[in-house]
Each structure stands twice: as C-alpha cells, then as structure tokens.
Amino acid sequence: MKRLFAFLITFFVMTSFLIADFPWMTYSIGFRTVTVQDYKKHLKETGEEIPIFPPRTGNAVIAGGVQKGSRADIAGLENNDLIRIINGKLLRTPDEADEILKSVTYKDKLELGVIRRGRDQWERLAITIEALSEEEHIERSIVGSNPVKYKDHWYSTRRHRESPENYGSGDIHLNIAVVDDKPEFLYLCIGRLDSEDLFTRKYTVKTDENTYELIDLPPNEVKDINSRIDALLIAEQAKVKDIIDHIKAGKPLLEDQVRLLEKAWIGSARTKEYRKSQGGLTKLVGFKKSERSDTKRYENERYWETYNKEVSKSQEKMILDIATSKTVTIRYSGTKFYHELEIPSEVRSRMELVMKSFKNSGGKLFD
C-alpha cells in the first residue's frame, strides 16, 4: 500500500505541470484533455521519466485548462484530474473520451468519475456538469475585455470568452461596448496586416448567398488626411525635411517630431518605432518599397492593424448571415495586394452569441 501511494505521489508531481506541448483536445464545456496514452508517449519521446498511474486508468484522460467561470469550473473539475468514467461508463479505449466530449453541447448534462489527489490520499470523485438554458449559456459565454477608444471616448467592452483580446491576421470578432454596465453599441473587429496603402481599406464578405462590402476609411476621411499632409508640407517645410531625413536614415523620431505628426494626425508614430515608414508617413516621405535597401526587414516591419467600426442597424442582416451561413470568406483589398480567408464556423458561432447577448441586455442598433 505504501509503495502504491509513493507511485501515486509521483504521478501527481509529474502531472502538475501539464504544458501546451501535449496533444490537447479542447471542448466547449470549458476544459481540455490529453489521454494518458499520449501523455506517456510524449514523455518517452522527450526522454523524461514516465510515472506509474493508478490502476484501470490506461484509457483515462487528464483534464487541463479548466476555464474560470465555465460549467466545468463551477462543477468542481480541476486541472490534473484523471477522468476515467463519463456518464456512468468506464472508458474502454483512449479515444472514447474524445468521441463523447466533442458531441457535448451546453444543453447536455455530463457526469464524470475522476481520480484526484487530496492532502494525503487519492480520492475518487463524482462531478456533475449541469446543462444550461440558452440564456444561461449566452450569459456565461460573454466576459469583460480590454477598454476600447472609439470616437474620442473610452468604453468598457465585452467579448466571447474564447475570442482573443488581441487580433492577428484574419481574426474577426463581434464585441460589445458598455457604459454603466449597459450595452451601448456593437462593434466589428477585423485584424489585418497593414501595408503602405493606408488610404484604401476595403473588406468584401461573402456568405452562402450574399456579398457585403465594408470600407475602413470613407472618401471624406481620405480627403481629410491628404489635406492634413499637404498643410503640414507647406507650413512646416524645415521640420518636415528633418523628419524625412530621420526616417530615411532609420533614426528614431524625436519627441517634438512625433508631436508634430500627431498634431497633423498622420500615422502611428508614437506607438512602435517600426511603424514610422507606414501610413501617412509613407505618403509624406514619398519613397516606395523597392527603394529600401533592406526589403526583408521592411516585410517584417509590416504591422497589425484592426478594423473597428460600430455595427449599424442596416448591417444586422450581414452579421446574422455570417453567423448562419455554411461558408463565409472575407477578403481585404488594398491598392497593391489582397488577402482572403475563410471564417471558421466556431468564430461565426461566437459572433451570433455576442449578438444575442447584446439584444438580451437591451442593446439596440442604429443607422
């Protein structure tokens, strides 16, 4: 008995640092798993010691990544729990858990038999993950997020819990702007890799039956930017020449140069230094990509930008169409390049839930 207990202690220590290198399977219930078999295989391949597991756990799975506030978390599931029984059935094969868990929805009740180490012994526990109503499912799917500045005002925000707070190329999400804990408006976020063609930002969204176009900068805003650049060129010729010399020489911009550019509302000079050759600054300086001596460095310095626009009443049909279509693609078109990709079904489902949460909370769309 003492020998078995020592082995079990070893198991607990070895499984307490589960990392992303393992072949995880992730589920909407609020946790992920790795099979004991895959766990051992990974340790063997990396030359690490393989611990001895409790009896009758060869087909079990190890729970990890339990999301705070999720159904699994509320039910009491913890990271490193060994799941060996699902809905009263002992797992007979390593893949059986995945076959069951991937089909579970918020409407399903789930009963788990787990093994967990207590303070001085291993415990066998029964954990029940309760089913949710649609309203409860929507409420638990939405979490607070980073504040956002929109039209010179800062708003608290809410997003789907599985949507990232920061966006990469092709990410598309629907978020809620909040004032005094009440929904103010919906806004659509699209991540993209920006380029020198700041003044042409068009997105084409294709669903099963329709095509929609989104314009980042309306013609009047483009005209306004151009006029600001022209005014700067005329009024501050000497200072502009210094800025151009700094940029072409690859030198950091000075604080007064940054303030001057921001006063003229040109580009993102203050944020990251590698943005200095982008946007309005490129038009200001007037050089092309081919004129740079280090093209590879230029490619690496292209940066992430986001489309953040309030969703109007007339765009509601588009959002619902995106959420319910079988196939949806989005294409970003610039003057010199384009990028097209398919929006995954899980991303579209999140958008639908955010829209429902917005309306359930009393939010309204306006044109």
Query: Tens of pLDDT along 186-210?
Result: 999 887 655 444 444 678 899 999 9
**Taking all residues of the chain, what is their mean pLDDT, rounded to a whole number?**
76
For the cut 80, the answer to whether the pLDDT of residue 47 exceeds it is: yes
For the cut 70, the answer to whether the pLDDT of residue 239 exceeds it is: yes
pLDDT at 306: 67
Strands (E), 181-293: 182-193, 202-206, 211-215
What count of other Cβ atoms lies within 10 Å of the Cβ of residue 61? 28
| CATH class label, 2-132 | mainly beta
Query: Tens of pLDDT along 289-311?
Result: 333 333 333 333 444 456 778 99
For the cut 50, the answer to whether the pLDDT of residue 233 exceeds it is: yes
For the cut 60, the answer to whether the pLDDT of residue 77 exceeds it is: yes
pLDDT at 209: 94
Q: Rounded to an integer, what distance in angstroms lies between the CA atom of residue 361 and that of residue 181?
A: 10
What is the number of alpha carbons within 13 Å of residue 259 lying toward its C-beta? 3
- Min mean pLDDT across 24-38, 39-53, 58-72, 236-250 is at 236-250
Tokens coding 244: 């151009």
Query: Tens of pLDDT along 305-339?
Result: 567 789 999 999 999 999 999 999 988 776 555 67
pLDDT at 337: 57
355 Ramachandran zone, left/alpha/beta (phi>0; psi -120 to 50): alpha
pLDDT at 268: 41
Query: Tens of pLDDT along 103-152?
Result: 999 999 999 999 997 777 788 999 999 999 999 999 888 988 888 777 77
Check: pTM over 0.75? Answer yes or no: no
- Average pLDDT on 90-95 reads 92
Domain ranges of the chain: 2-132, 136-194+304-360, 219-300
Helix count (H) and strand count (E) of the chain? 12, 16
- Average pLDDT on 362-366 reads 92
pLDDT at 169: 57
| Residues linked to residue 86 through DSSP beta bridges, in sequence order | 89, 112
